Structure 1
Amino acid sequence: MARLSLALTVAAATLVGLPSPVHAASYTASSNPILFVHGWSSSASTWNTMISRFQADGWPSSHLRAFSYDTSQSNATTAQTVSQEVDKLLGATGASKVDIITHSMGGLSSRYYLKNLASSGKVDRWVSLGGPNHGTSSANTCFSTACVEMRIGSTFLTSLNSGDETPGAFTYGTWRSPCDGVINPVDSTVLSGAANTRTACVTHTNLQNDATIYGQVRDFVNP
């Protein structure tokens, strides 16, 4: 019966054009709502595939929040927006905590939020997909405030990484790909104290769309 139910779930997802779930819906009443933070020169729509997969695995749309922001401004400024979005999501769902999933530069503003602005009671788990946590040489070719902050050895990163790289009562996880192509060096994403995962050969933009990575991230935020 369980196999039949899963088959019907997969078939239904296919008929409505959604990605098939990796397994039967894993959302439970104890699952946290999720805030998604995009990266440089991107927008909330970059999360459409991952959000649809979470929905196919049982997450209500009200528990999956992505937002757009000005990616040229300082990551410290964006951290204020992250704080506001966390509060909005908590208020809308009545949940006590959220999980945060980030891509690329989105990891920096959200880490700033966790280190300097967040109450430990508001966030449970944090995910960085291809984050320039220790900088990337790719940022040497752009000149906005946020981009300069992504450069290796920047004042912003030196401060962000000083002391404990994974502070607070949060659970941190990172994913990096040997074929990223944007985060150079690839191991820039790795954080001391985090669960650090090296993926198969996946490009930077596909870290959000790869089905295997999705399954790993889903299980990380929903243990």
Structure 2
Amino acid sequence: MAATTRARVGARLLVSLLVAAMTTLVAPTPSAAAPRAAHTPVVFVHGYNADPGVWGSLRADMKAAGYTDDELFSWGYDTDESVNETLSGQLATYVAEVRARTGADRVDLVAHSFGSLVTRWYVKFGGGAPFVSHLASIAGPNHGTATAWACAAWSQGCRDMTPGSYVAKQLAAGDETPGSVSYATWWSNCDEVINPDNSVPLTGATNHPAGCVAHNDLLTDDGVSRGVRSFLAS
């Protein structure tokens, strides 16, 4: 009886050892942390009376330079709404969604024209500074543009772009480039929309003259594209 019991115990022990050995062979090793994206996610913010499609050329250039679709985001919005009362908050929500989707701590913002006011208000007054690494303003009416009076009667967005508007004054007051964000602008002396031309440059930013390039052509200009990509990589 004792011999039988010892045999059963021995058999069970042998089975246990075999199971343990097999488990060791097939058990998955702890997975390494997911690799971080190669680039900081970029959020493109279009200008007045436009849509995300305007970024096709720059997006293509950035993909050719190594960015993926999962790192490039184009935000669409109603450009007749108020910069400070509506659009800044909507941009904040969108940036939070991009950060949650990508796992990134911060994003880069690339804005054209009116989008520059929205992005700057988000950074300066909307709590966005900790979540933004670079802000590129292409042809932004950063100190107002007289051409916005043409649509100011029916559009709050246009009123926000007029010289001396509440938005323009608040963004120009004190530090124009607050936080640890890196700022850059691109402006043209042939811009038919931004009047005066020197409305674009910001104190504290790296300001780039693009030469004689029309307002919307700045979106597809090779020099601007190279400059923006170099800036975001810095």
The TM tier, using the shorter chain, reads 0.7 to 0.9
CA-to-partner distance for each residue in 1:170-192, whole Å, 9 max, x for gaps?
11100001111110001100111
Matched, 1:37 2:45: yes
Pick the aligned partner of 1:85 from 91, 94, 102: 94
Matched residue, 1:177: 188
Matched, 1:193 2:207: no
TM-score by length of 1: 0.85
Matched, 1:98 2:107: yes
- Counterparts of 2:202 and 2:81 in 1: how far apart (Å)? 24
Structure with the higher fraction of residues in helix conformation: 2
Matched residue, 2:134: 125
How is 1:48-87 mapped onto 2 (pairs within 5 angstroms)? Answer: 48-76=56-84, 77-87=86-96
CA-to-partner distance for each residue in 1:51-83, whole Å, 9 max, x for gaps?
111111110101100021111010121111111
Amino acid at match of 2:200: T
- Counterparts of 2:179 and 2:209 in 1: how far apart (Å)? 24
- Counterparts of 1:120 and 1:192 in 2: how far apart (Å)? 17
Offset at residue 154 of structure 1 (A): 1.0
Aligned length: 196
Matched residue, 2:148: 139
Matched residue, 1:18: none
Percent identical pairs in the alignment equals 37
Matched residue, 1:148: 159
CA-to-partner distance for each residue in 1:7-52, whole Å, 9 max, x for gaps?
xxxxxxxxxxxxxxxxxxxxx9552110000010000111111111
Matched, 1:218 2:229: yes
- Given that 1:62 and 1:92 are in contact with CA atoms closer than 8 Å, whether structure 2 keeps it comes out as no
Offset at residue 107 of structure 1 (A): 0.3
Q: Cα–Cα, structure 1 residues 49 and 83, in superposed 2: closer, same or farther, change >3 Å?
A: same
Corresponding residue SS for 1:117:
coil
- Counterparts of 2:38 and 2:74 in 1: how far apart (Å)? 21
Q: Structure 1 runs of 4+ off > 4 angstroms?
A: none
- Counterparts of 1:93 and 1:30 in 2: how far apart (Å)? 11
Structural RMSD (CA): 1.3
